[in-house]
Every structure is written in C-alpha cells, then in structure tokens.
Amino acid sequence: MSNTEADAAALLCGALVEDDRSTGASRVDVLSAREVPLGGPRAMRVRRTLPQRQRTLIGAWCFADHFGPHRVAASGGMNVPQHPHTGLQTVSWLFSGEIEHRDTLGTHALIRPGQLNLMTGGHGIAHSEVSTPDTTVVHGVQLWVALPGEHRDADRDFQHYVPELTRVDGAGIRVFLGSLAGSTSPVRTFTPLLGAEIVIAPHTTLTLAVDAAFEHGLLVDDGDIRLLDTVLRPAELGYVPRGADTLTMVNASDAPTRTILLGGPPFGEEIVMWWNFIGRSHEDIAKAREDWEASSDRFGEELPGGRLSAPALPNAVLTPRRNPPTR
C-alpha cells in the first residue's frame, strides 16, 4: 500500500502518556475513517483511520487502511506499482480476494485471506501489490508498524504466517501478531504488538483478557459493535488507553461481525512520517526521498514494471505533530 495523500502530512508521533482511569468519561475514543484514493485511473478508495489529527499511533501501529468489499469489475481492484518504504513494517491481512506481492528482497507471494504477510522495510525496500486476475472482490486491511530507533534500519525481511482459528464462546479469533485468547503468533516483531481478527457471533457478549500495559484499537469491518460503553459503526476504530485488563465487545445484531484488534505499549519515541517513509527528522525523510528518486540501491534492485514517484516535499521543514496524551 502506498500513501498517496497530497498533503503528505509529516507526523511526529510522541510519547505523551498518562493513565487516567477516574474521570468517569468514556474510555473509548472513536476514530472515524476518511476516504483516500490509492491512485490509478479507477482508483480504489480506502478508509484510513490512522494516522489522523486526533491520534497518530496505537502502540507501534501507525497506519490503518481498511478497504472493500470492492468489486474488481467496478474499481479495477488493487494495482499499486512498486514504491518504497523505510523505518516501518507493512502488515497485509485480507478478508477476501488475492493480491500478488513482489518486493526487492526477491519475494513473490500471493496474499490470501487469513494469512499474515509482514514485510520489513527498515533501511529500505520497495514492493508492488496487484490483485490477481481471478479476484472478483478485494476486502481487507493494510497496517503499518513503526520500527523503534534501534531497529529502524533493519534489513529487508518478509514473513508469512497462517494462524489457526481459535474458537472461544461466541467468537472465532485469528491471532497474527502477539497473544490473545491463549493463541500466540510466532512472528517476530521489534516492539510488543497485538494483531488479531475477531469474528463475533450474533447476540454475543465477548470479554477477552488483554495486557493492561497495552493501548488498544478495535477496527470494525461490518455491523455495529459496542466496545466497553461505546458503539462503533463500520470502519470506525475505537481507541482504549492502557490500563484495561479486559475488553468487552457486544454484537447485538443478527449477523456475525468482523473486527480487527490492535494493541501495543505506547510507542515511546517521536517519529516523522511522510509519504511511505518513517524517519526521525526532516533530513531522514528528504534523504529517503532523494534516494528513491535517484533509484538508489538502498531500496534493492528495481522490479519490472512501473514505479511510483515521490510527491514533492513541502516547502516548509516537515514539522512534527504530537500524539495526544491518552487523557
């Protein structure tokens, strides 16, 4: 996934963290999605809930795109030519469809529903993502994880993992990163993370034990879910600050509802995020942009086919935007 937002806002994501469990206010912040085109002639649109002005990070999760169900006949499906990443990992998780992934590590993978594909673009990587000809509907999420400073120049990497379906009373859970409901992903991450798909049965109240040191985000794919005291509508991301050791979700409807639960300890570093790059300063971003535009081998050997050019840097120095305190 490539970030095509024209303003390409620089985000400096801070670590202001306070526990406040006694205000009596709702413990859930609702982050609404904005629609963003992915680019291309019949641009598929995605619903982006991270980053946004209200919140830039949940743990190390720094980007959340939710797409579909898109009928490929109408939208052209996903067709993102090769583009670079630095300082982050990409997590592709599909609900339906199939995407062909190629990257400059040499990976050629078919991304399928229920399968984690985690690409590390520390110092630099490039990849392309195209829905396959047999795909009629694309539906899923793409998420980015910020790398902590000591690993932000990590080597290129690609990990694939197919979690088992964990059945608990009233829900089916696939844990692709971290641990939940007795299931643990073996996939290595650079900070503690939780990432899981949870499908909640109709007329079900689900309570899951979670790590109280984590902040959490629950993204609702379809239907309505009540998270703690707050109803989340489709495509909304409900944020819960750290301090919760259980999360209760209610599906009061007649149909199963799919959600994605994200979590991690608050990311204790400030980062600058611009286009498809994460750095620590304006200079980091400008250098990554310059290297990409010069076809530097920093990003590996170019793939056949087209490439996305970086947008122009803003005239001003990329100025940080701080993550708000957790109340």
Strand partners, 139: 96
Report in angstroms how near the CB of residue 166 gets to Mn ion at its nearest: 29
Give the whole-angstrom CA distance, residue 31 versus residue 55. Answer: 8
At 120 the three-state DSSP class reads strand
Output the CA angle 303-307-309, nearest 5 degrees. Answer: 145
Report in angstroms how near the CB of residue 228 gets to Mn ion at its nearest: 33
Nearer to Mn ion, 49 or 82 (CB): 82
Nearer to Mn ion, 104 or 251 (CB): 104
Q: With the C-alpha atoms ordered 94, 36, 43, 128, is the resulting torsion angle positive or negative?
A: negative
Report in angstroms how near the CB of residue 124 gets to Mn ion at its nearest: 12
Nearer to Mn ion, 29 or 129 (CB): 129
**Residue among 187, 176, 253, 243 at smallest CA distance from 220:** 253
Report in angstroms how near the CB of residue 23 gets to Mn ion at its nearest: 38
Nearer to Mn ion, 85 or 242 (CB): 85
Distances (CA, A) of 189 to 91, 144, 160, 168: 11, 12, 13, 26
Nearer to Mn ion, 104 or 185 (CB): 104
Binding site for Mn ion (CB under 5 A): 1
Report in angstroms how near the CB of residue 85 gets to Mn ion at its nearest: 6
Which residue number places its CB atom closest to Mn ion?
1
Amino acid letter, residue 31: L
Nearer to Mn ion, 1 or 193 (CB): 1
Report in angstroms how near the CB of residue 239 gets to Mn ion at its nearest: 24
Report in angstroms how near the CB of residue 92 gets to Mn ion at its nearest: 9
At 276 the three-state DSSP class reads coil
Residue 259 near residue 198 (C-beta atoms within 8 A): yes
**Residue among 12, 8, 6, 34 at smallest CA distance from 271:** 12
Nearer to Mn ion, 1 or 141 (CB): 1
Nearer to Mn ion, 239 or 275 (CB): 275
Residues in CB range of 246: below 8 A, 6 or more apart: 207, 208, 209, 210
Nearer to Mn ion, 24 or 304 (CB): 304
Residues in CB range of 71: below 8 A, 6 or more apart: 136, 137
Burial category of 166 from C-beta neighbours within 10 Å (exposed 0-12, middle 13-18, buried 19 and up): middle
- Alpha carbons within 13 angstroms on the beta-carbon side of residue 229 total 6
Report in angstroms how near the CB of residue 66 gets to Mn ion at its nearest: 15
Report in angstroms how near the CB of residue 46 gets to Mn ion at its nearest: 12
The secondary structure of 201-249 as a DSSP string is PTTEEEEEE--TTSEEEEEE-SS-EEETTEEE-TT-EEEE-TT-SEEEE
